[in-house]
Amino acid sequence: MIKLDKENSLAKLNGANIHNYLDKIEARDQGFYKIVDNDVSEILDFAKSVEGKYEDIVVLGIGGSSLGTICLRQSLTHLHESIELHVLDNIDPQYMAQLSDVLDFEKTLFIVISKSGGTPETLSQYFYFREKCDNFVFITGPTGLLRETGEKEGIKMFEVPENVGGRFSVLTVVGLLPAALIGIDIKKLLEGAQEMRDKFLSEDLEENMCYQIAQMQHQHGGEGRNMTVMMPYSQRLIRFADWYRQLLAESIGKSKDVGLTPINALGVTDQHSQSQLYMDGPDDKFFIFIKVENLGPEVLIPGDEVYYLKGVSFNKLMHIEQKGTTDALTHNKKPNITLNVPEVNEHNLGALFMLFEGATAFLGEFYGINAFDQPGVELSKKFTKELLTRPA
Ligand code: PA5
């Protein structure tokens, strides 16, 4: 079970209004915490039907349609899986050409993911690869160009639930289908998410970690600490911080007065890159550390030249370096919390996704904004389309 150590948060928590905020979230009619009960048999049946057929899976998509899958791949797959999952969340022609060079298109399945079905980056990726390959599956909303194309071409399609926005969709078919295809146990992901969803809906402050985290971020934001640093001490969770960066930025950055800037860092790596700023720089940050208790087999650091490393395992070194960092921040009065995760597995990752989706939903209500739309992203999509249609 994931535990929250908030001893050094320097925040005062108050659960008197949880009930009201839960009502406000409910009134927004969002599905992100309901879809974890959905039946996943269609996804599992499809994964079974193509077992052994493909060597490479390529996801075409961007933003909320790709970041969750990138995280799932990084967190839950071994470095040398028999089936490769590539996620093409950019339109860099060099990368697309390089990928084309290494793929055997007979043995590659492309999954095109776009809720709107009209995102120019995703459509252009699709147009590029459909010239080379015939194996496509679409994950899209009920309307849009992708839906129309899929119907015309007889392409297998899955539907993104209408009331789940892109960045909240990792636990829908958007993340679950690619995950199932590379052998991730999606039922366990959902079980972990369900457990956290129950906490998210709890009116008991001690139980509701989502509410606690949101309240700390909100309080510190109000005191000028309007940046949230997420720093997992686990290579497997590096992309979780990327996923969260989008979730927080797109959900909460809504006006010149409302927004928290997400910063992602990796322990121990960024102790030698960011720590100086965090320790002695401006007091404008709130820190969320993720500690993974079991980082894998206990490997002792060989050699006996350095006495304090003798007999120490990499796990222990990682934990001690983390403690050194959080203790130093606390010493310098920099508010920080630590999420203790027993190990990186499906169950706990599902819980982590739900924890931060829930916290983001509460944050939106604390700020009195709609955390579920993205007018700024839509505006840049509109301007891009206008520029493309303007005469040279
Ligand atoms: O979170 C969001 O809504 C966005 O980041 C979208 O996921 C992103 O813009 C891609 O949109 P679509 O899935 O419609 O192609």
Domain total of the chain: 2
CA 154 – CA 167 distance, rounded (Å): 28
The widest CA-to-CA distance across the chain, in whole angstroms, is 70
Atom from ligand 1 closest to the CA of residue 64 = 7
Give the mutation target among 159, 245, 374 for probing the ligand 1 site: most ligand atoms within 8 A of CB. Answer: 374
Distance of CA 59 to the CA centre of its chain: 16
What 8-state DSSP symbol labels residue 390?
A: S
121 is known as an active-site residue: no
Residue 324 identity (one-letter amino acid): G
Q: What is the DSSP string of 76-140?
A: HS-TT-SSEEEEE-S--HHHHHHHHHH--GGGEEEEEEESSS--HHHHHHHHHHHTT---EEEEE
| pLDDT bracket for residue 376 (50, 70, 90) | confident
Question: 123 alpha carbon to ligand 1 midpoint, in Å?
Answer: 12
Question: 59 alpha carbon to ligand 1 midpoint, in Å?
Answer: 14
Indicate whether 323 pLDDT > 90.
yes
Full strand arrangement of the beta sheet holding 156-159 = 84-88, 56-60, 108-114, 136-140, 156-159
Please tell me if the CB atom of residue 96 comes closer than 6 angstroms to any atom of ligand 1: no
Same domain, 94 and 145: yes
86 is known as an active-site residue: no
In a domain, 45, yes or no: yes
Element (H, E) at 196: helix 186-200
pLDDT at position 386 is 83
Same domain, 327 and 207: yes
Same domain, 173 and 296: no
CA 386 – CA 391 distance, rounded (Å): 10
Domain of 67 in residue numbering reads as: 35-187
Contact 293, 258 (CB under 8 A): no
In a domain, 380, yes or no: no
Same domain, 217 and 284: yes
Contact 358, 200 (CB under 8 A): yes
pLDDT at position 375 is 82
Q: How far is CA 189 from CA 171, 268, 296, 335, in A?
A: 8, 27, 19, 31
Spatial CB neighbours of 7, under 8 Å, sequence gap ≥ 6: none
Regarding beta strands 136-140 and 108-114, do their DSSP bridges make them parallel or antiparallel, or are they unpaired? Answer: parallel
Phi, psi (5° rounding) for residue 311? 75, 10
Indicate whether 388 pLDDT > 90.
no
Q: What is the pLDDT of residues 274-287, one digit of tens each?
A: 999 999 999 999 99
Q: What is the DSSP string of 130-147?
A: HTT---EEEEE-SSSHHH
- Which of the two residues, 380 and 293, has the higher pLDDT score? 293
What 8-state DSSP symbol labels residue 285?
A: E
Indicate whether 32 pLDDT > 70.
yes
Full strand arrangement of the beta sheet holding 261-264 = 3-5, 336-343, 285-294, 227-233, 261-264
pLDDT at position 79 is 64
Indicate whether 80 pLDDT > 70.
no
In a domain, 274, yes or no: yes
Same domain, 216 and 275: yes
Tell me the pLDDT of the chain averaged across its residues. Answer: 95
CA 350 – CA 151 distance, rounded (Å): 32
Q: How far is CA 298 from CA 301, 335, 340, 354, in A?
A: 10, 31, 18, 30
**186-200 and 173-181 helices, crossing angle to 10°:** 150
Indicate whether 392 pLDDT > 90.
no
Q: What is the pLDDT of residues 186-237, one digit of tens each?
A: 999 999 999 999 999 999 999 999 999 999 999 999 999 999 999 999 999 9
| Structural tokens at position 86 | 């590539």
CA 60 – CA 88 distance, rounded (Å): 5
Please tell me if the CB atom of residue 63 comes closer than 6 angstroms to any atom of ligand 1: yes
Same domain, 153 and 240: no
Same domain, 129 and 159: yes
For residue 172, the domain's CATH number is 3.40.50.10490
Same domain, 183 and 297: no
Contact 360, 371 (CB under 8 A): yes
Same domain, 168 and 296: no
Q: What is the pLDDT of residues 82-109, one digit of tens each?
A: 789 999 999 999 999 999 999 999 999 9
381 is known as an active-site residue: yes
In a domain, 343, yes or no: yes
Please tell me if the CB atom of residue 115 comes closer than 6 angstroms to any atom of ligand 1: yes
In a domain, 242, yes or no: yes
Q: What is the pLDDT of residues 140-198, one digit of tens each?
A: 999 999 999 999 999 999 999 999 999 999 999 999 999 999 999 999 999 999 999 99
